[in-house]
Amino acid sequence: MFLLKLVFRNAFRHRLRTLLTITGLAIAVLAFGLLRTVVDAWYAGAAAASSARLVTRNAISLAFFLPVSYESRIRAVEGVTRVARSTWFGGIYQEPKNFFPQFAVSPAYLDLYPEFVIPAEQRAAWTRDRKGALVGRQLADQFGFKVGDALPIKGSIYPGTWEFVVRGIFDGADSGTLTRHMLFHWDYLNETLRKKTPRRADFVGVFVVGVDQPDNAAAVSTRVDEVFRNSLAETLTETEQAFQLGFVAMSDQIIAAIRVVSYVVIVIILAVMANTMAMSARERTGEHATLKALGFGPGFLAALIFGESAAIAAVGAAIGIAAGAPVAAFFKQAAGIFPIFEISPDTIALQVACAAVVAVAAAVVPAVQAARVRIVEGLRSIA
């Protein structure tokens, strides 16, 4: 009890210095948490992807398409339950910075994605309207889309301005579902292409394939690719998760840089904290000698310094972690590019761990010095 009291008295002896250190620590812990969350947000697409769905695409690269005739041949493969078409549209809504993904899909797509929850009458309305579009809840909230709104999109891959009408808004089944995209009829795209550029018609970007059992995913992938070996358009089939991770991997050096930088901020704050502890301990050399003269052992003095470091770090970390959720919510609103931006329990655990490491590392040298101080020399020293 006495030790704890002394620790707290000591910690707040230099109120300004402690306050500054706590602020610094809180900011660092907060920044660390946000950076980890940015990395998590990068992986959100892969995290939300199912390993029970496969994506079949052209083996050359995503810029090459597959003939629509492949659909029936994929469906005939053993273990395949459903096949849906999906083509990346890559259009621009008003201006390029309003980027969001648009996919031209066949109706079976919605059956393959039960996590997109849509009211039955809206789905029926969409099915009836060839120019109908479905928008995700996150997207609708960002741009204020409502059912019945006209939605003109300027094509970059497919020239011209395309007119859509919002016929439904789908919600995510849970908070991890990404709903910041738009779906419309593949038939609308295809029929327009047939009229304008017939050579580009009857092609599909990727096929989304449902398998009967997730365990069969690998076997079914191999069987699908086997069907099209040595054809004009060889396929590459992988689980949706692997497909999404492929995108993440392309920017892996940026992610690696963010990861490194998230630890740099911890090192910065470690330097600040170590400085504070070193200064405090040096100023109190005389006191430490007095305590020793009174009979307190070196262990007590070390505990005193570690305790002070831990107290400051605990308060700073607590503030930093508590500020995490509201700041993340604000950041999500302000940036508008990350549909999922929540601080995960893992991140909080890492924040606590980092604060603990900082607390211990900052106190090691001053604690050892205090424990070793010779009474006579210590008493002689002045600040």
Partner 1 sequence: MAIPLSYIARNLWTRRVTTLLTAGGLALVVFVFATVLMLDAGLRQTLVATGEYDNVVAIRRGAGTEIQSGITRPQAAVIEMHPAVARGADGRPLVSKETVVLIALKKAGEEKPSNVIIRGVSAAGFTLRPQVRVVGGRLFTPGSTEIVVGGAIARRFEGTRVGERLHFAQRDWTVVGTFDAGASGFDSEIWGDAEQLLQAFRRIAYSSVIVKLARVEDFEQMRTDVDADPRLTNEVKRERIFYSDQSRALSTFITVLGLTLTAVFSIGAMLGAMITMYASVSNRVGEIGTLRALGFRRSAVLGAFMVEALLLGLAGGICGLGVASLMQFASFSTINFQTFADLSFKFILTPAIVSQTLVFSLAMGLLGGFLPALRAARLEIVDSLRAA
The contact pattern for partner 1, residues 260-289, with x = CB under 8 A and - = no contact, is -x--xx-xxx-xx-xxx-xx----------
The token duo for 18 is: 């402690």
Q: Kindly state whether residue 232 participates in binding partner 1, applying the rule CB under 8 A.
A: yes
254 counts as binding partner 1 under rule CB under 8 A: yes
Binding of partner 1 by 31 (CB under 8 A): yes
Q: CB-wise, 335 or 353, nearer to partner 1?
A: 335
CB nearer to partner 1: pick between 52 and 362: 362
Return the residue of 4, 8, 13, 60 that touches partner 1, per CB under 8 A.
60
Residue 337, φ and ψ in degrees, nearest 5: -100, -20
At residue 50's C-alpha, the angle toward residues 48 and 54, to 5°, is 135
Q: Which stretch binds partner 1 (CB under 8 A): 141-149, 163-171, 187-195, 254-262?
A: 254-262
Tell me the window of 24-32, 115-123, 166-174, 295-303 that interacts with partner 1 (CB under 8 A). 24-32
By CB under 8 A, residue 72 contacts partner 1: no
Exactly one of 67, 79, 90, 107 binds partner 1 (CB under 8 A); that residue is: 90
Which one of 1, 63, 120, 294 is in contact with partner 1 (CB under 8 A)?
63
Contacts of residue 280, Cβ cutoff 8 Å, sequence gap at least 6: 10, 13, 14, 17, 305, 308, 366
Please select the residue that binds partner 1; options are 114, 144, 230, 294, rule is CB under 8 A: 230
Q: Is 329 a binder of partner 1 (CB under 8 A)? A: no
Cβ of 283: how many Cβ atoms within 10 Å? Answer: 14
| Contact between 258 and partner 1 per CB under 8 A | yes
> Which residue, among 213, 195, 208, has the nearest Cα to 107 in the 3D structure?
208
The number of residues making up the chain comes to 383
Question: Computed over its alpha carbons, how large is the radius of gyration of the chain?
Answer: 30
For partner 1, the closer of residues 170 and 338 by Cβ is 338
Torsion of CA 20, 24, 29, 34, to 10 degrees: 130
* CB < 8 Å & 24+ apart, contacts of 140-148: 140/166, 140/169, 142/100, 142/180, 142/336, 143/93, 143/98, 145/169, 147/122
Q: Closer CB to partner 1, residue 46 or residue 314?
A: 46
* Max Cα–Cα distance, the chain, nearest Å: 97
Q: Does 157 bind partner 1 (CB under 8 A)?
A: yes
- Residue 167, classed as helix, strand or coil, is strand
- Footprint on this chain of partner 1 (rule: CB under 8 A): 16-17, 20-21, 23-24, 27-28, 31, 35, 38, 59-64, 90, 154-157, 159, 199, 230, 232, 234, 245-246, 249-254, 257-258, 261, 264-265, 267-269, 271-272, 274-276, 278-279, 383
